[in-house]
Structure 1
Amino acid sequence: MSSTPGLKRKLAESRQEPTAKRHHLHGYDPQSPWLHGSPTGIWRTRGNPDVQHAMPLSNMVSAVQDLIDPDFDPLTAMLDDEPRFLKPLPARIAPEDLEFLRFRGALSLPESGLRDELLRCYIQWVHSFMPVLNLQEFLRCVAENDPEGNVSILLFQAVMFVGTAFVDLKHLQDAGYSTRKSARNAFFTRLRLLYSLDCEEDRIEILQTLLLMTYWSDSENSPQRDIWDWIGVCNTQAQSIGLNKDPASGEIDIKTRRLRSRLWWCLYSRDRLIAMGMRRPLQVNDGTSSVPMLKLDDFDFEPFSPYVVSKFYCRQLQDVSHQKRLATMFIEKVKLCQCIGRVLFAQYTPSQRQFGATDRTTVTLIPRQASDSEFARCGQKLDSWLSALPKDAQFIPKSGNNFHDGEDVLLLHGAMLRMLYHATSSALHRPWTSASKDQSKLRTDWRNAARAKMNDAAAGITHIIQGLNHLNLTRFLPQSGVTVILPAAVAHLTNTMSDDPAVRETSVDNFHRCIRVLHCLKDIYPAAGEEFANIEAAIKMQAGASSTFFQVMEYNLDAPATSLATRKPSNANSISQAQPHPPVSVTETPRPQARASSTQENMHQRTPSVASTHEPAPPLFPNDFDQYMDLGIIDNNPFNFLSIDIDSFPDIQTPSQSNKTQ
C-alpha cells in the first residue's frame, strides 16, 4: 500500500520515543468504551474502534489469581488505573487525524504514579502562581476517576506538561526520559498537536490551556511561535467570549463568575510579565476591560475531600488559611503588574530591530525618557503598591532550618513578589541612566540617582536569589524568575568594570550568583538558556577589553547550593511594614539619548560616576534571607560604568546559531 512521504515521516518520528517511556503510558480513545458491552458514557477509555473488544482469557485470569492472590481481580485493577475521567473528543475529528495523534503519543497519558506526582507539583508550584483551574472539581474528577468527569484531554495534557518543570527528575527518568528538557519538549509536543488539530471546542478550556502553554518557549525547535505569540492568541480567545467584561453583568453561576475573573487577571499578569521579560509590546489593553480588580471572594476556599488530600497530599489542599495567603499574594502580583504595564507604556517604545526579517518576531521595546511628570506618576504608583502590601504577602518563616509543611511555597511566592518589585524599579529607572548631551549638574545628578536605584534593585534581587539558593528553592522558580534575574545579572556585569577593586570583586561574585541560577534553570525554561548564552556572548565579544572579563568568566556552574542540613538558624521572625523609597524630584526633562548602534560600542562607552553623596535606601523588606547571605547594597562607591545594552542581546548570535547560518 502506498503512503505519502509526509505520513512516512510522521510515523518515523513517532517511533523515536524511548521504549521505556511508551511502556509507562496509557493510551486514550475517548470515542469508544474499552470493554465491549459496557454502557456508553461510563468508561471513556483506550481502545481501537476497529478491533473487536474481548474479555481477558479465563485461563489467564485463573493463572493470575493462583500465582498472586485468590482475591485479586485483574479486571478491577485495570479499570482503577484506566483514565475514565476524560471526555470524548469531538466526533468531527477525522479517523486519520486520530491515528496520527495516537502515533505521535498525543493521546497517551503518563502511568498513574507519574501522573499523581505531576499533579502534586502542579498544585504546589504552578496553580497558586496562575490559578486558571477550578481546582477542587478538577482534582475530584481525577482522584475518583469519575466517568462523568468530562475533563478535557487538551487541558489535562497541559497540566501534565507544566508539572514536568518541577517533578523530581527520577520520575521522568523512570519514564524513559534522559533529561528534564527532553521530557518537557515531548509533553509540549503532544499538547501542541492536540491544540493544532482542534481537539477541544470549549473556549474557556482552550484559554486555560494556552495560558499554561506560556510556560514553554523553544526558539530552536519552534522559531515561528513563542510565548509572546501565545499571549496574543489568548487575548483573542478572551475577547471572543467577553472575558474582558465584568462577569457580574451576566447570569452565570458563582463558580463560573469567579473562574472568569481569575482567568482575565491571569491573562493580564502573564501579558505584563512576558512583555517585561521578552522586551516586547503589551497586547492586553486595559481600556477594553471592565473586570473589577481581583479580591478574595473570587477564589474558592474550601478543604478538599479526604480522598483528594490523601492522593495529592500538600498543605494548600487542607488548610484554608494557606489558600487565602496564596490568593492574597496572587492579587498583589496582579496589582504590581498594573505598575509594570504603566512603566512599560510610559518608559519604552516599540522598535523594529533587523527590519525586513520574516523568520522571527523582530519587534522589541527600547527605552525612552518620558516626561518627568509621567515618570513621577509611575514611581508613585510603585511606591503606593509597596506601602499597601498586606502582611499576608510578606512571608518569612520563623525558622530557616525547619519549615512547616507548605511554608516553602509561601516563601517562594513572597520572594517572587519582592524580586518583581525590584525588577520593576530597575525597568522604571533604566531609561534615565543613559548618557546625554545635557551634561548639566542637574542631569548628571539625576543620572547617578537612577543608576543607584538600579544597583539597589540588582542587590535586592541577588540577595533574595542567594537566600533561595541556600534553601534549595531556586529550581521551583516560575518562568518570571528568569525575568527578574536578568537585569540583576546585567547590572552586576556592568559594575565589574568599576575603578574600585572592592566594587569589582563584589560585582563579580554577585554576577556569578545570578548566572549560576540561570544555568540551573536552562533545562526547565529554554529562555534561561537563551539569556545565559546571550550574556556569555556579550562577555566574549570583549576579549582583551579588560582582565576583569576573564575573572567574570571563571564561574563554577556546578557549585552546589548549601544543603538543608547546613542552614543557619533564621533570625527572621517577622517582617515590619516596608516603607517606599522617597520619590526623586525632576525639574527638567532630559533629552533622550540615541541608542548605540552596536553592543561593541556600548561595552566601551564610559559614563560619569555616581555621586559620592548618594545615601543608601533603607531595606525594602527587613530580614529577608539575612541569615543566608552577607550582601549589602553598594553605596558611597565611585563607579565608572560600562554600559551594556540589554536590548541588543537578541541580536547576538551564539556559536550554535552562527554554525546554522554558515
Structure 2
Amino acid sequence: MRYSRKRAATSSEPSRPDVAVSGPPANETGEDVESPLEPSPQHLDRQTETVPAQPISEERPTPLDPTPTSHRSGESGSAYKEVSWAVMFNHFLDTRQTHRDDAIDKCSITYLGESFPLALVLEDLREGGRTRLHHPGPPLESPNVLEQNGGAPAHPPHLLPEDLSYLESKHVFEYPERAAFDAMVDVFLNNFLPLYSLVNRQEFLEQHQHDRLPWILVHSCCFVAATFGPESLLHKAGYTSRKEARYAYYGKAKALFDAGYERNKIVVLQSTIMLTFWGGGPNDYWNTWSWVSTAVTIAETLGIHRSTSATNMSPKDRSLLKRLWWMLVVRDASSATLVGRPFRINMEHGDAEMLTLQDFEHEIQGLEVAGHSLARTFAHYQVEVTKLSLLLYDIDYARFIPGPKALSMAQVYGRLQEWKNSLPQEVDWDHDPNHGNLLATCLSMVYDHHLMLASIGIASSEIATSNGDGGINPDGSVASIQQPFAELAAQRVSSQASAIVMKSQSLLVPHETYQAVFLAGVVSYTSMRSSQTMLAQVGRLVVDNCRMVLHNVRDAWDAAPWIITLFDGLTNSLNALPRQESSAQTPSVPMFGFGSMVDIDESVMGFGMPASWQSNPMLSALFDTPQTAW
C-alpha cells in the first residue's frame, strides 16, 4: 500500500520548448551533477526557474531546504534559477561591491578558488591578505510563483513532460504506507543519523511532519533505513527481503538524481552521501566509489572543503557544511582502502576546520531530549573517527604510493599512538572493560584496522610492542616483539565483532567497522598457512569467526558477499594443499554453529568480486606461496 503526495498533472505543465533538459546523464565516472558547462549560445543568458518537490498543503508551501526560513542565513528559498555560467559570474561582478556583507545561504554559494583567474585579479576582494572564496549566489526565486491552480506546486519546469512521465512510472512521487514511512524515518533519525550526522535533526523532523521533504531525500532516507533497520520494518513496508527493499528505494533515488529533478545542491549532496552505501556490482559504473566521487564533486563545487570561518553564514549552517565535508573524508578513506583504489579527496587542496563538539551542539540536545543511548558518545565518535580517517591517508602514502616518501612508517605508528593517547574518556575503550560502550568498541575496531593495514606484509620483527598495544618507543621508533601484533589486532577485532553480533547490534554500527573484520580475516588467513600448529589453529578460528560476522551483515554491508566468497575459496584451496607438517593440519572449528559458508549466494545484492581485488596491496599477501614459519 502506498500513499502519494501528488504533483500537478504533467499535462498542466507550461510549455517550455526553449528549455533543454538539464539533468545529468548516468555517465561512467559519476562526475557530472550540474547542468552542462557549455550551454548553446542562444541559452547563454537565459534563466529558467526551478523548484524542488513540495506537497499539496492548505498552508503556503515553504522552501524545501534542510534549514527552514526562520533559521536560514538569508531570506532565500530553494526555488533555484537555472543559470548559465555567464549569468552567475555577471551576478558576482555586479554585486561584489554593494553586497559584500550579505549573509550567504549555504544552498547558493558561488565558490571561487584562489587559482581561478578572476579571483586572482580582483584585488578589491582580498580581506586580511586572503582571497575571499565564498560569495552569495544569484538571487533565488520564491516557490509560490510556480504554483499551479488549486494550490498544488508544479514540477520543476526544467524537466520535459517525457522525463516526468518516466519518473511517475517509477513511482518516485509516492510515499511508502504512512506507518511504514514513519518507522523508516525513526530508523533514519535514531540509527543512522547518530553515526552520520548529515542533516539537522530538528529541521528534518519538522519537514517530515509537514510532508515537505524533497523526494530524493525521501527515497534516500528509506534506502538507508532499509540498510540499517530491522527485517520487520521492511516487511511492514511490503517487501520480502532487505535486498528487494534496498534496490527499490535506491532505484527511485537514482532516477531522481539522473533526471536532475532536485536543484537544491545541499539536498542532492546529502542524498548522494547516503547513496554511497550502495555497493554496486563489478560491471556497474554506479557504485560506492562513483557515488563518493560524485559527492566530492558537489561538495567542492560548493567550496565546503575550504574554511568558512570568515564567511557570513549562520553557525548552524556552517556546522552542517563541516559535518558533510568530513563525513565525505571518512567515506572516501574507507571505500578507497577497501579494495586499494586511489583516494578521491586530495587533502592538500582543502583547509576546512576539523570537527569539534560545537558542530554537534543542536544534535546532542535533540538526542538528549529523546533519551537516546548514544547521546553522550555519538559526537565524540564522529570527531575521533574523522581524525582516525586522516591517518589512513598517511598509511596509504607511507606504504603504498610509489616514489620517495617524506613520511616514514615509524612516524605513522607514532601518529596512531598519539591519537590513541588523546582519546576523550567518552569513547576510550580502555575505560570500558565490559564493552558496553558500542561506539567506543567500534572506534577500537577501526583503530585496529589501521594497525593491521600499516603492518600486514611487514616482518614481525619490524613491528611490535613492548606492552601489546602500540609498538612505539618514546623517540618514535618501532620497538621489537616476540609475537606479531597484527595477529593480536585481528584477534581483538574478531572478538569484538562477535560480541556485537551476539548482542544483536550488527545493524547499529558504522559500516567502516566491518572493514576491520575483513582485514582481520586477511591477517588470520596468513596465520592459517603457518607450519606452527597453534598459530594455524588460532588463525583458522579467527577466519571462521570473521566469516560468521560477515554472514550476519551480508544483506546490509554490500562488500560482505564477495568477501565471504573470497574466504571460502581461499580456505578450500588451503585445505587442498599438502601441509609442510602433518601435525599442523587442523579441521575447521567454527566458533558458532552457522554451518558452511561455501553455499553463500555470490549474487546476493548482485555484487561480485571487484575487478581490482587481486592487485590490491592489502590482499596481495593472500596469493603468496605458503609460509613455513613466521
Mind listing any 5+ residue stretches in structure 2 that lack a counterpart?
Answer: 10-52, 65-151, 463-477, 597-614
CA distance in 1, matches of 2:424, 2:515: 24
Alignment of 1:417 with 2:443, yes or no, is: yes
The offset of 1:115, in angstroms, is 1.2
Contact 2:299 2:305 in 1 (8 A): yes
Deviations 1:377-400 (A, max 9, x none): 111110000000010113699897
Determine the structure 1 residue equivalent to 2:548. Answer: 516
**1:217 aligned partner:** 279
Deviation at 1:554, TM superposition (A): 6.7
Tell me, yes or no, if structure 1 residue 152 matches structure 2 residue 129: no
- Which runs of no fewer than 5 residues in structure 1 stay unpaired? 1-22, 45-85, 306-314, 350-367, 401-406, 437-445, 561-593, 610-662
Q: Does 1:300 align with 2:277?
A: no
Task: Specify whether residues 193 and 543 from structure 1 end up closer, same or farther in structure 2 by C-alpha distance, changes over 3 A only.
Answer: same
Within-5 A mapping of 1:475-624: 475-546=507-578, 551-552=587-588, 558=594, 602-606=623-627, 608-609=629-630
Corresponding residue for residue 391 of structure 1: 425
Task: Determine what percentage of the aligned residue pairs are the same residue.
Answer: 20
Residue type of the partner of 1:26? Y
Instruction: Give the CA RMSD over aligned residues.
Output: 3.8
Deviation at 1:347, TM superposition (A): 0.9
* Corresponding residue number in structure 2 for 1:585: none
Could you tell me whether the CA contact under 8 Å between 1:419 and 1:461 is conserved in 2? yes
Query: Deviation string for 1:557-614 (max 9, x for gaps)?
Result: 6379xxxxxxxxxxxxxxxxxxxxxxxxxxxxxxxxx999x979935332542xxxxx
- Using the TM superposition, give the Cα deviation of residue 193 of structure 1 relative to its aligned residue in structure 2, in angstroms: 0.7
Counterpart-to-counterpart distance in 1, 2:331 and 2:256: 23
Secondary structure of the 2:516 match is helix
Alignment of 1:7-156 (within 5 A): 23=1, 25-31=2-8, 41=61, 89-143=155-209, 145=210, 149=212, 151-156=213-218
Q: 1:101 to 1:131 in 2, by over 3 A?
A: same
Q: Is the 8 A contact 1:495 1:504 kept in 2?
A: yes
Alignment pair present for 1:461 and 2:477: no
The one-letter code of the counterpart of 1:226 is N
| Offset, 1:455 | 0.8
TM-score by length of 2: 0.66
Alignment of 1:310-329 (within 5 A): 316-319=368-371, 322-329=374-381
Q: Secondary structure at the match of 2:484?
A: helix
Give the Cα–Cα distance (whole angstroms) in 2 for the partners of residues 296 and 304 of structure 1.
12
> Counterparts of 1:182 and 1:107 in 2: how far apart (Å)?
19
For residues 57-77 of structure 1, the C-alpha deviation after alignment (integer angstroms, 9 at most, x for no partner) is xxxxxxxxxxxxxxxxxxxxx
Give, in whole Å, the separation in 2 of the partners of 1:189 and 1:595: 30
Deviations 1:308-348 (A, max 9, x none): xxxxxxx5553499535211111011111111111112211
Deviation at 1:269, TM superposition (A): 1.3
Residues 496, 508 of structure 1: 8 Å contact kept: yes
Aligned partner of 1:343 in structure 2 is 395
Q: TM-score w.r.t. structure 1 length?
A: 0.63
**Residue correspondence of structure 1 range 168-187 to structure 2 within 5 A:** 168-187=230-249
CA distance in 2, matches of 1:302, 1:527: 30
Matches of 1:106 and 1:414, distance apart in 2: 39
2:264 is the alignment partner of 1:192: no
Larger mean Cα displacement after TM superposition, 211-220 or 25-34: 25-34
> Which whole-Å CA distance do the structure 1 matches of 2:333 and 2:54 have between them?
45
Contact 2:272 2:295 in 1 (8 A): yes
CA distance in structure 2 between the partners assigned to 1:128 and 1:600 by the alignment: 36
Go from structure 1 to structure 2 and tell me whether the alpha carbon gap of 1:154 and 1:251 turns closer, same or farther (over 3 Å shift): same
Contact 1:541/1:600 (8 A) holds in 2:
no
Q: Which residue of 2 aligns with 1:332?
A: 384
Give distance in 2, aligned partners of 1:330 and 1:385: 14
Deviation at 1:171, TM superposition (A): 2.6
Q: One-letter code of the match for 1:532?
A: I
Partners of 2:335 and 2:249 in 1: CA distance: 22
Count the aligned residue pairs.
463
* Whole-angstrom CA distance in 1 between matches of 2:174 and 2:56: 21
* Per-residue deviation, 1:37: 11
Tell me if the contact between 1:519 and 1:557 (Cα under 8 Å) persists in the aligned partners.
no
